[in-house]
Amino acid sequence: MLETSIAVENLSYQYGRFKAVDDISFTVASGEILGFLGPNGSGKTTTLKMLTGQLIPQQGRVLILGHDVTKATALVRSRIGVSFEQTNLYEQMSALENLALFADLFNVKNFDGYGLLKRVGLTGREKDKVSGYSKGMKQRLMIARSIVNSPSVIFMDEPTAGLDPVSSETIGNIILEEQARGATIFLTTHDMWEADKLCQRVAFINQGKLVALDSPHNLKQRFGKRKLVAEIAKPAGGLEKREIEMDSAATASSMEALFSQEKIITLHSAEATLEEIFIQITGQRLRQ
């Protein structure tokens, strides 16, 4: 049986009369990567703040590694790592100095700054001031900082937002490496492709409520529609794209018509994306 690293019970928080998080509950198993998806203002960041002890829940509780975040804050914080959405590094210090500071705060023995920076692809720039780094480099340094204490649970808030593909891939690899090390990862993201690729399960949050929580595969099975996508040659020249639903009453006749009457150029099966499923469940897009 898998151990639980994160347990959230009936968590609520409201700013004035606005309910940012409305009675959500879920658990994350040790070594699991959970994607926490939702549009802007859906309650992702408020949830993340309560999970990391930055905000005290008005209702409910959060257990990290079995400890109540509000009661054993120092203990919990010594075993977690947090990567923020907004860059918050000491820009007038070097990457090495930034990491060394946090290694000191976490009392890391035998801290290997160079090794950590190598993992995030910052070799050769270790002693440069962070103010001279690109956005991608800063984000990679933020990731390195979040794992400086080899945390058991890592919270990542939009780690790849607005990054180039190389930086995104580097960060994706780090996430998988940390999971392989045994860390549990709580990942908030807008990027459905990233969530699909990295996460064992994804949670959809909308207007403060948890509206779905399952593996991407199961969500696609449950909410998505299987279909065939064909590219056919038009008589007048050019290509036409045609989609045929696999599970409808008209599937057989549509298939027959396709094969008998059209000149098929390509044909492949397709499944719904997480984005489409999110729209189906919530009625709105992730990016607005």
- Examine residue 89 and tell whether it contacts other proteins (CB under 8 A): yes
- Examine residue 74 and tell whether it contacts other proteins (CB under 8 A): yes
Structure tokens at 142: 């933020």
Smallest gap, in angstroms, from Cβ of residue 167 to other proteins? Answer: 20
Distance from chain centroid for Cα 112: 27
- Examine residue 53 and tell whether it contacts other proteins (CB under 8 A): yes
What residues numbered 94-123 form the site for other proteins, per CB under 8 A?
Answer: 97, 101-102, 104-107
- Give the three-state DSSP class for 245: strand
Residue 98 or 170 having the CB closest to other proteins = 98
How many residues line the site for other proteins (CB under 8 A)?
27
Among 1-9, 86-94, 109-117, 257-265, the segment contacting other proteins (CB under 8 A): 86-94
- Examine residue 14 and tell whether it contacts other proteins (CB under 8 A): no
CB atoms within 10 A of CB 102: 16
Residue 157 or 275 having the CB closest to other proteins = 157
Residue 140 sits at φ, ψ, to 5 deg, of -65, -35
Residue 105 or 264 having the CB closest to other proteins = 105
Question: How far apart (Å, rounded) are the C-alpha atoms in residues 142 and 135?
Answer: 10
Smallest gap, in angstroms, from Cβ of residue 38 to other proteins? Answer: 21
- Give the three-state DSSP class for 205: strand
- Examine residue 13 and tell whether it contacts other proteins (CB under 8 A): no
- Examine residue 3 and tell whether it contacts other proteins (CB under 8 A): no
Question: How far apart (Å, rounded) are the C-alpha atoms in residues 53 and 68?
Answer: 9
CB atoms within 10 A of CB 247: 8
Residue from 91, 177, 240, 245 that binds other proteins (CB under 8 A)?
A: 91
Among 7-15, 76-84, 165-173, 248-256, the segment contacting other proteins (CB under 8 A): 76-84
- Examine residue 133 and tell whether it contacts other proteins (CB under 8 A): no
Question: How far apart (Å, rounded) are the C-alpha atoms in residues 216 and 172?
Answer: 17
Assess contact for 106 and 149: CB atoms under 8 A: yes
- Examine residue 58 and tell whether it contacts other proteins (CB under 8 A): no
Residue 76 sits at φ, ψ, to 5 deg, of -60, -45
Distance from chain centroid for Cα 196: 9
Q: Of 56, 42, 76, 41, which Cα lies nearest the Cα of 155?
A: 76
- Examine residue 77 and tell whether it contacts other proteins (CB under 8 A): yes
Which residues of this protein are in contact with other proteins, per CB under 8 A? 52-54, 73-74, 77-78, 80, 82, 84, 86-93, 97, 101-102, 104-107, 129, 145
